[in-house]
């Protein structure tokens, strides 16, 4: 009996062991199947990122060759291209870090379609904190009206999301794909899309701000003025209003084209090409916000015009700082609110590239954040104790890049 009892216990132990082993085997198979189910998702995500990187690289390369084809290859452009190559090489440590975050960060939603034209795309930079609705900055990048591209705003976007600000970087048609009226129409359509859809992404449609840099400052200012004229004349329905923009920030922009034609020609953006971009010499005044703001038709809209902040470096040789000063004077004469903020010794790219890549304290960034957080005391308090921004590039490389910059 004892032997039989032992045999039963041993049999039960074996059965139990087999069952546990079977369960473990089953669990491993389930886990294996689960891994197999998730692997294609990860692979697809990686493949999608690689395909996007390839497409963006192709686009930027094509834009560069388009620029060369229209500007021509001569002594002036060979020296500028060499300087640009050295400039980019010196700042490459920072560019690579920003590019990696742009393509792989979960905070970036790339190439959202806002219209039916080939370049009607925008990138959204979304803060990790999805609490109360966030202020929104619409950014129109520069690029001499020829090589503008939404990814040029990635450094700005990645820095702004750290302060709980949503950034929408707009793409638009460049010359020769389009001329200035196409660029303005694209910018206006992008602004409309953001205003009417940003609530779906956690943005506050009552706190939308507009910013442009260089050519983007000109295009976005034109879009504001054109929208004001449409609203004053009431000839057609509008999908957004200038009163929905809480403030406009123009960085290193040019706003009076007749005054800038010769300057651009001497800097390498030849008169014939610039006139073609602007649709003929007779259209230069039409696309000059400094001149258009004094149009009598705008008087009914001036009270709704957003406060304007024009930022410029005094050592800007691409677009002289007097361009911002004169536009501010024209705005004030028309009855709008305008303020000029000049930075002594800063160049065309210092404010937008070199200074942010330096990390630490950045006056223009801090000023922009203070404008966007002006109605939020809690956010302002957090800004006051925010840690210094990290450095992307060693100081010696930044200084060398500034000295050889072709801009």
Tell me: pLDDT of 82 over 50.
yes
Residues catalogued as catalytic: 214, 316, 348
In degrees, to the nearest 5, what angle opens at C-alpha 147 toward C-alphas 142 and 151?
65
Per residue in 45-80, is it b (16+ CB within 10 Å) or e — as a string?
eeeeeeeeeeebeeeeeebeebbeebbeeeeebeeb
C-alpha span between 375 and 132 (Å, rounded): 14
Q: What is the pLDDT of residues 286-308, one digit of tens each?
A: 999 999 998 888 888 898 999 99
Mean pLDDT across the chain: 84
**Regarding the domain with residue range 105-385, which homologous superfamily does it belong to in the CATH classification?**
Alpha/Beta hydrolase fold, catalytic domain (3.40.50.1820)
Task: Return the structure tokens found at 45.
Answer: 């995500």
| pLDDT value of residue 1 | 44
pLDDT at residue 180 in the model? 97
Average pLDDT over residues 256-272: 90
pTM: 0.82
> Is a pLDDT exceeding 80 seen at residue 112?
yes
Q: How many residues does the chain have?
A: 407
pLDDT tens figures, 386-395 = 888 889 999 9
Nearby residues of 124 by Cβ (< 8 Å), 6 or more positions away: 108, 109, 112, 166, 167, 168, 201
Query: Per-residue pLDDT for 336 more than 60?
Result: yes
What single-letter DSSP state applies at residue 116? S
Percent of the chain at pLDDT > 70 equals 80
Q: What tens digit of pLDDT does each residue of 204-260 get?
A: 999 999 999 999 999 999 999 999 988 887 766 788 999 999 999 999 999 999 999
Cis before 186? omega within 30: no
Nearest to 70 by CA among 273, 265, 318: 273
Mean pLDDT for 98-108 is 92
Long-range contacts formed by 290-296: CB under 8 A, 24+ apart: 290/255, 290/256, 290/326, 290/327, 290/330, 291/256, 291/258, 291/330, 292/222, 292/225, 292/229, 293/225, 293/327, 293/330, 293/331, 293/334, 293/336, 294/330, 294/333, 294/334, 295/229
Grouping H, G, I as helix, E, B as strand and the rest as coil, residue 256 is coil
């Amino acid at each position: 009996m004892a032997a039989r009892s032992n045999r039963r216990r041993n049999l039960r132990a074996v059965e139990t062991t087999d069952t546990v082993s079977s369960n473990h085997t089953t669990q491993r198979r389930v886990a294996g199947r689960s891994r197999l189910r998730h692997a294609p998702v990860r692979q697809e995500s990686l493949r999608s990122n690689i395909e996007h990187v390839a497409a963006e690289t192709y686009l930027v390369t094509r834009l560069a060759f388009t620029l060369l084809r229209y500007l021509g290859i001569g002594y002036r452009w060979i020296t500028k291209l060499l300087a640009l190559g050295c400039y980019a090489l010196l700042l490459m440590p920072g560019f690579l870090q920003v590019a990696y975050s742009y393509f792989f960060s979960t905070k970036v939603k790339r190439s959202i379609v806002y219209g039916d034209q080939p370049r009607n795309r925008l990138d959204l930079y979304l803060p990790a904190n999805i609490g109360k609705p966030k202020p929104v900055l619409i950014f129109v990048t520069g690029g001499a009206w020829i090589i503008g591209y939404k990814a040029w705003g990635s450094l700005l976007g990645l820095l702004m999301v750290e302060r709980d600000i949503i950034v929408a970087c707009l793409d638009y048609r460049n010359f020769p794909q389009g001329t200035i009226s196409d660029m303005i129409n694209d910018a206006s359509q992008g602004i409309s899309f953001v205003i009417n859809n940003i609530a779906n992404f956690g943005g506050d449609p009552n706190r939308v701000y507009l910013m442009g840099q260089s050519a983007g400052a000109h295009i976005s200012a034109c879009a504001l003025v054109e929208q004001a004229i449409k609203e004053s004349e009431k000839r057609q329905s509008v999908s957004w209003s200038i009163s929905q923009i809480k403030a406009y920030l123009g960085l290193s922009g040019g706003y009076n084209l007749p005054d800038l034609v010769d300057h651009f020609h001497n800097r390498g953006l030849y008169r014939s090409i610039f006139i073609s971009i602007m649709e003929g010499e007779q259209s230069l005044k039409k696309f000059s916000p400094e001149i258009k703001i004094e149009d009598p038709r705008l008087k009914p809209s001036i009270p709704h015009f957003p406060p304007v902040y024009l930022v410029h470096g005094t050592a800007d040789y691409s677009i002289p700082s007097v361009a911002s000063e004169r536009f501010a004077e024209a705005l004030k004469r028309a009855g709008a609110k305008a303020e000029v903020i000049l930075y002594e010794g800063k160049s065309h790219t210092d404010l937008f590239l070199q200074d942010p890549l330096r990390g630490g304290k950045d006056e223009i960034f801090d000023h922009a954040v203070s404008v966007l957080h002006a109605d939020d005391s809690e956010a302002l308090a957090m800004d006051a104790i925010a840690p210094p921004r990290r450095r992307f590039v060693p100081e010696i490389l930044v200084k060398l890049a500034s000295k050889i910059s072709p801009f």
